[in-house]
Amino acid sequence: MRALGTFFDRSIRAAWWALRQWSGDAAYENYLRSVARKAPAAGAPLLSQAEFYRQGLERKYSQVSRCC
């Protein structure tokens, strides 16, 4: 029974994680992690979440992002 509980718990966590990754909800966290990975002294100033979101949209919708 406990094994089943753990299984469900894991599945739901995995699904939630995948949903956040897919939808773009986790994009800012990924960005922070990426910046941290590459040593903080890399140059460009860190973007705020609002600015990161706005710039991301601008770039995404300047190229073909949706198909027929």
Distance CA 25, CA 17 (A): 10
- Binding residues vs another protein (CB under 8 A): 18-25, 27-28, 30-35, 37-38, 48-50, 52-68
SS3 50: helix
Residue type, 1: M
CB of 29 to another protein, least distance (A): 10
Distance CA 59, CA 38 (A): 22
- Identify which of residues 7 and 36 has a Cβ nearer to another protein in the complex: 36
CB of 36 to another protein, least distance (A): 9
CB of 60 to another protein, least distance (A): 7
